[in-house]
Structure 1
Amino acid sequence: MNQQELSKRLAAVGEFVPERARLADIGSDHAYLPVALALTNKIEFAVAGEVVIGPFTSAVNQVKKNGLEQQITVRLASGLEAIESEDNISAITIAGMGGALIRDILAQGKSKNKLSGTERLILQPNIGEKNVRTWLMNESYQIIAEHILEENQKIYEIIVAEKVAEPLAYSETDLLFGPILSKEKSETFIKKWQAELKQREHVLHQLSLAATVPSEKIAQIEEERKQIEEMLA
């Protein structure tokens, strides 16, 4: 296996892993990413963390098949608990989960002192990107890069962040759309938010037919629709 065999999504995540990194790949999905990066000599060492026994076993087998047992350690653990201090991790990848779950993994990891603050975070939420950006802002992680791509008719965002000393304040627009993606406004970005706008309009129509709906919910979706319309204008 090599990096060219990765999915487009995982290959894009791998592009943001620094050269010679010591990587923790959380929710490692058969250890595809660390194996590919090790085979191309991009990383020095990796931990592949899995919380479910089936994927854990698959990751172990993938590492063995490629003869990388000395370079990649597979651990059965919840979230960042897969990381041990002697690993000296310099980059963490968490890909293919919901934004709320990624946020919770990071928050729990921080509470258990699994984040040193020196790691680069490379995060690929499938949905709920705002949850991730809000946590990063509140914990003083600056978003240094973002990427949006489409694969198999699904659109994915990648958020790359590093800890800074001073507090950060991203706007609501930055948190929803991404401080970098919203400036670039790529074709894929426009396509995503056109679909999101239609989804908000559909929800508002459904709510208008309902007998009772909390006014706060309608107001929230109306505000999001307005934000999207302004972004696409």
Structure 2
Amino acid sequence: MNESILSKRLKTIAGFLPNQANFVDIGSDHAYLPCFVCTKDKGATAIAGEINEGPYLSAKKNVADFHLTDQIQVIKGDGLEVINDQDIDQVVIAGMGGTLIRSILMRGQERIRNVKRIIAQPNVDAHAVREWFYENGYCLVAEEIIKEDGHIYEILVADKGDATIPYEGMRLESSLLFGPYLLKEKNAVFQEKWYGEREKLERVIKQMHQAKDVNFEKIQLFQHEIEMIEEVLTYD
């Protein structure tokens, strides 16, 4: 598969899969990631999971076109239900909201008992995924924040292990929101994202104050988040 076809986002995810990966890609989006990985690494195997008929058929066609049917299974199903008795070492869930990723992980917990690594790319609410890792014995080992085509993406990588390690000596609430590794680096994309989030929250609070019934409790929560953002953006 031609490398130029794959987005920067998916290439970054592929970089966190080991050689001879044995992974499942949930919501596989035409099986681009499995096709890319398995073309480059003949020892790799994958399951491309899709719930919707159109992308499922498109994934099957791509796998056949790239002559990868011996390495990639395309399975139609909801979330981690596509794993039955197959041996899976890594899980990739990319391109959906963090709360949805968390709910997929929660619902499929029994099926990923032996999984060594989870790579998640939430479009929003990355904190929801970090919280799930923290509460379920997955140690966050790497994070990336990238910008592509005007969108900012966070990629979170967690291995089975002591989930408290990356948060040692840090304020937990803040680290779960911003990401312990991203907080240390605070690169330009990170700053752009959080300046934008602060502006968005300020706009929302302004609108909420104009409502007939003002939800002061929610405003307080948003105000607290703004304070955390300002703390992070102000201090190095």
TM-score of the alignment, normalized to the shorter chain, above 0.5: yes
**Alpha-carbon distance in 2 for matches of 1:151, 1:137:** 28
Q: How far is the alpha carbon of 1:145 from its aligned partner?
A: 0.2
Question: What does residue 224 of structure 1 align with?
Answer: 225
**Alpha-carbon distance in 1 for matches of 2:48, 2:95:** 14
Letter in 2 for 1:153: G
**What secondary structure does 1:180 align onto?**
helix
Q: How far is the alpha carbon of 1:53 from its aligned partner?
A: 0.9
Does the 8 Å CA contact 1:2/1:39 hold for their aligned counterparts? no
Q: How far is the alpha carbon of 1:42 from its aligned partner?
A: 6.7
**What secondary structure does 2:108 align onto?**
helix
Letter in 1 for 2:199: K
Query: Which residue of the other structure, out of 138, 152, 155, is the alignment partner of 2:152?
Result: 155
Does the 8 Å CA contact 1:19/1:42 hold for their aligned counterparts? no
Question: What does residue 61 of structure 2 align with?
Answer: 61
Question: What does residue 199 of structure 1 align with?
Answer: 200
Question: What does residue 105 of structure 1 align with?
Answer: 104
User: Which range is displaced more, 68-77 or 170-179?
Assistant: 170-179
1:211 matches 2:209: no
**Alpha-carbon distance in 2 for matches of 1:16, 1:167:** 18
Q: Structure 1 residues 173, 159: closer, same or farther in 2, change over 3 A?
A: same
User: Which range is displaced more, 114-123 or 90-99?
Assistant: 114-123
Letter in 2 for 1:207: M
Cα deviation 1:49-106 (Å, max 9, x = unaligned): 0011111000000000000000100000111111122x21111111000001100000
Cα deviation 1:195-231 (Å, max 9, x = unaligned): 0111111111111222212221011000000000000
Q: Structure 1 residues 117, 183: closer, same or farther in 2, change over 3 A?
A: farther
User: Which range is displaced more, 188-197 or 117-126?
Assistant: 117-126
Cα deviation 1:121-143 (Å, max 9, x = unaligned): 00000001111111111101110
Q: Percent identity?
A: 43
Does the 8 Å CA contact 1:155/1:192 hold for their aligned counterparts? yes
Letter in 2 for 1:91: Q
1:181 matches 2:178: no
Cα deviation 1:139-182 (Å, max 9, x = unaligned): 01110000000001010000000111x46385011111001101
Alignment RMSD: 1.3
**What secondary structure does 1:37 align onto?**
helix
Question: What does residue 38 of structure 1 align with?
Answer: 38
User: Which range is displaced more, 88-97 or 166-175?
Assistant: 166-175
Does the 8 Å CA contact 2:89/2:114 hold for their aligned counterparts? no
Question: Equivalences for 1:114-153 in 2 at 5 Å?
Answer: 114-153=111-150
**Alpha-carbon distance in 1 for matches of 2:195, 2:56:** 38
**Alpha-carbon distance in 1 for matches of 2:188, 2:43:** 32
Q: How far is the alpha carbon of 1:116 from its aligned partner?
A: 1.8
Question: What does residue 96 of structure 1 align with?
Answer: 95
TM-score where L is the length of structure 1: 0.95
**Alpha-carbon distance in 2 for matches of 1:126, 1:223:** 22
**What secondary structure does 1:114 align onto?**
helix
Q: Structure 1 residues 199, 42: closer, same or farther in 2, change over 3 A?
A: farther
**Alpha-carbon distance in 2 for matches of 1:101, 1:167:** 21
Letter in 2 for 1:176: L
